[in-house]
A and B are shown apart, each in its own frame.
Chain A
């Protein structure tokens, strides 16, 4: 079966750095997405990786290792507004998005 694993919840301190991991087992791979979802709102796109390596976008970076079926989202200089759920999603061989359950990130002052 297809599976995406992320930690359920993480806590970090304002101004610090946090890394959210995602491992996947899917039938084929056509890219991995990270989305941010604030409570009661729809997801918003953060990043996309299809090749191995690190993609940096401001305070957020995303890393992919296809051979390991592994990705992480790195958030730097954490702000209180970064408190949200972070969803990892993989596009499989049929270009269907397989969603992880999301990681709830709690930022403390």
Chain B
């Protein structure tokens, strides 16, 4: 089945640090990847849609200069949380959909990155 690899799984760092999270589709190509954030006991919140070869589409209220997204290839998207602060601590999850699949195919999720800013 389709596998999405997300790395790192956990990050603990000081306030002001920039953190990069990678999302790779291992056995399929994805023109579109999605970045979500999930706070404890809350639902998934879509942050942005990452498009290969073009700019990401950010959801309302998400700062594009703080959450930098680069979709460099059909199998890799990165999210960089710049100058992270404690309020950015959350569970970040990426997902991707097979380029060859129809619109009815599910998104495949990475294992998530738990970010803790001290």
Query: Which of chain A's residues have a CB closer than 8 A to the CB of B111?
Result: 41-42
B81 to chain A, nearest CB (A): 18
Whether B114 is near chain A, meaning CB under 8 Å from some CB there, is: yes
Q: Majority SS of interface residues in chain B?
A: loop
Interface presence of A18 (CB below 8 A): no
Number of A-B contacts (CB under 8 A): 42
Tell which of A42, A45, A50 has the most Cβ of chain B within 10 Å. A42
A101-B45 Cα distance, complex, nearest whole Å: 10
Report the bound CA distance from A99 to B110 in whole Å: 17
Q: Which of B12-20, B68-76, B100-108 contacts A (4 or more CB under 8 A)?
A: B100-108
Contact among B44, B103, B104, B112 with A99 in the assembled complex (CB-CB below 8 Å): B44
Q: Is the pair B106, A45 in contact by a Cβ cutoff of 8 Å?
A: yes
- A87→B44 CA distance, assembly (Å): 9
Give the chain A neighbours of B104 by CB distance below 8 A: 30-31, 48, 50
Q: In the complex, which residues of chain A have a beta carbon less than 8 angstroms from the beta carbon of B44? A: 43, 87, 99
A109 contact set on B, CB distance < 8 A: none
Q: Mark A7-34, 1 if CB is under 8 A from B, else 0.
A: 0000000000000000000000011010
Inter-subunit contact B43/A43 (CB<8 Å): no
Q: Does B117 lie at the interface of the complex (its beta carbon under 8 Å from any beta carbon of A)?
A: no
Q: In the bound complex, what is the Cα–Cα distance between A90 and B112 (angstroms)?
A: 22
Check: A44 CB closer than 8 A to any chain B CB.
Answer: yes
A40 contacts the other chain (CB 8 A): yes
CB-nearest residue of chain A to B106: A45
Q: Are B93 and A42 in touch, CB under 8 angstroms?
A: yes
Residue of A nearest to B91 (CB): A40
> A76 contacts the other chain (Cβ, under 8 Å)?
no
Binary per-residue interface labels of chain A (68-97) against chain B in the complex, 1 for a CB within 8 Å, 0 otherwise: 000000000000000000010001000111
- Residue with the greatest number of chain B CB neighbours at <10 A, chosen from A30, A45, A50, A95: A45
| B42 close to A44 (CB less than 8 A) | no
Give the complex CA separation of A22 and B36 in angstroms: 21
B3 to chain A, nearest CB (A): 12
Asked if A99 and B43 make an inter-chain contact with CB atoms under 8 angstroms apart, the answer reads: yes
B56 within 8 A of A: no
